[in-house]
Amino acid sequence: MIEIGKAIVRVRKTLGLSQKQLLERCDNKISQSFLSQIERGERNLNLENLEVIAKNGLRIPPHLLVFIAQGDLKDESDEFSVLLHDTFDFLKTIYFKALLAREKQNQLRKLEDDKIKIQEEISNMKNLKSEFEELLKNKVELSSHELLN
Residue 16 per-residue DSSP state: T
Q: Helix (H, G, I), strand (E, B), or coil: what is residue 83?
A: helix
**Mean pLDDT value of segment 78-89:** 72
Residue type, 15: L
CATH topology of domain 2-73: 434 Repressor (Amino-terminal Domain) (1.10.260)
Angstrom distance (rounded) from CA 112 to CA 104: 12
Q: Helix/strand/coil (H, E, C) string of 17-48?
A: CCHHHHHHHCCCCCCHHHHHHHHCCCCCCCHH
pLDDT in tens, 123-132: 999 999 999 9
**Residue 2 confidence (pLDDT):** 57
**Residue 26 confidence (pLDDT):** 94
Identify whether the C-beta of residue 112 lies closer than 8 Å to the C-beta of residue 104. Answer: no
Between these two residues, 93 and 78, which has the higher pLDDT value?
A: 93
**What's this model's pTM, rounded to 2 decimal places?**
0.50
Q: How is the chain split into domains, by residue range?
A: 2-73
pLDDT in tens, 51-83: 999 999 999 888 888 888 876 555 555 666 677
